[in-house]
Amino acid sequence: MQVQLAGEAQRPDRENEDFAAVSPEAFVLLDGSSTPPGLESGCRHGTAWYVRRLGVHLLARLTDRADRSIAECLADAIVETAALHGGRCDLAHPNTPAAMVVAARRHGASLEYLVLGDSLLVLEPKDGPPKVIGDNQRFPDGEELRRQVWSAVPGSVERAALHLEYALAVRAVRNTGDGPWIAAAGPKAAQHAETGFVGLDRLHAVAALTDGAARYTERFGLGGWADVLRLLAESGPAELIARVRAVERSDAACERWPRGKTHDDASALFAVL
């Protein structure tokens, strides 16, 4: 694989809670679940710490455990990362650090992939249109509350209160069977990831994007997925993120394109196979 990647925190003064890593055979892209200000997590380490360690453990598993399925590799990595917390962290806390995950590896003559959460994997076949995989853990019961967050004035007390209410609602049900699944402290979430194989002889390239980068198409409609793949191939992931940032700055009040955050951590990866 020939891989390009880029990532940028939502603001210069904020730690980036995305993480990406590659080897010649595999890649991982993680998007940490941000904690609203004032909300306890039960963990002394934080989301960025968790995402980096889960990503490193997952990449190691993907490269040295071909006997384990990609979902089993994620489950193993979750267990290994949970053990690093130590006894001072409450991993049963509903707001324990968590992340969305995209991963892929060469497995014989195929590409084996996994997506958990609202990040995306885009397959570029040698023939036919792109195939988009992901955004597979939605929370339908929270959509009305989410729309209320988006309709409130950015930076207002009302918006902050609604955002906290939404965050609490999601965390109360995630990884319980009554809500979305996300990589956190329990390996069971890996069973709910979207996984599969595609023949390498059918693929030209693949892209992985956190939702902050996927705004290019998903939120702002700057182009279709074929356009995204062309941009990544010709100008690279950093240019895609730069164009997302330009649109975000042009709509700082989130009026033309309603969204939860004016800016979000954004990461993108492009691999030619």
Q: Which of 148, 154, 120 is nearest to 136 (CA)?
A: 120
Is residue 38 predicted with pLDDT exceeding 90? no
Is residue 197 predicted with pLDDT exceeding 80? yes
Mean pLDDT of the chain: 95
What the block records as the tokens of 160 is: 């902050």
Eight-state DSSP code of residue 183: B
Mean pLDDT score, 150-164: 92
State how far the alpha carbon of 155 is from the alpha carbons of 113, 163, 256, in Å. 38, 11, 16
CA–CA dist 94, 39 (Å, integer)? 11
CA–CA dist 99, 92 (Å, integer)? 16
Is residue 138 predicted with pLDDT exceeding 80? yes
Question: pLDDT per residue over 70-114, tens digit each?
Answer: 999 999 999 999 999 988 899 999 999 999 999 999 999 999 999
Q: What pLDDT, on the 0 to 100 scale, is given for residue 37?
A: 79
Contacts of 150 (CB under 8 A, 6+ apart): 254, 258, 259, 260
Question: 2-138+180-272 in CATH: which number?
Answer: 3.60.40.10
Q: What pLDDT, on the 0 to 100 scale, is given for residue 40?
A: 86
Q: Which of 4, 2, 1 is nearest to 208 (CA)?
A: 4
Q: What pLDDT, on the 0 to 100 scale, is given for residue 35?
A: 83
**β-bridge pairing 2-8 and 266-272:** antiparallel
User: Within 10 Å of residue 86's Cβ, how many Cβ atoms?
Assistant: 8
**N residues, the chain:** 273
In the Cβ-directed half-sphere of 102, how many Cα atoms lie within 13 Å?
29
Instruction: Look up residue 134 and give its amino acid.
Output: G
CA–CA dist 48, 52 (Å, integer)? 6
Q: Chain-centre distance of CA 135, in angstroms?
A: 9
Q: Any bridge partners for residue 115, and if so which?
A: 102, 194
Instruction: List, as one string, the DSSP characters of 224-254.
Output: -HHHHHHHHHHH-HHHHHHHHHHHHHHTTTS
**β-bridge pairing 26-32 and 203-209:** unpaired
Question: pLDDT per residue over 253-273, tens digit each?
Answer: 999 999 989 999 999 999 999
* Band (215; pLDDT cuts 50, 70, 90): very high
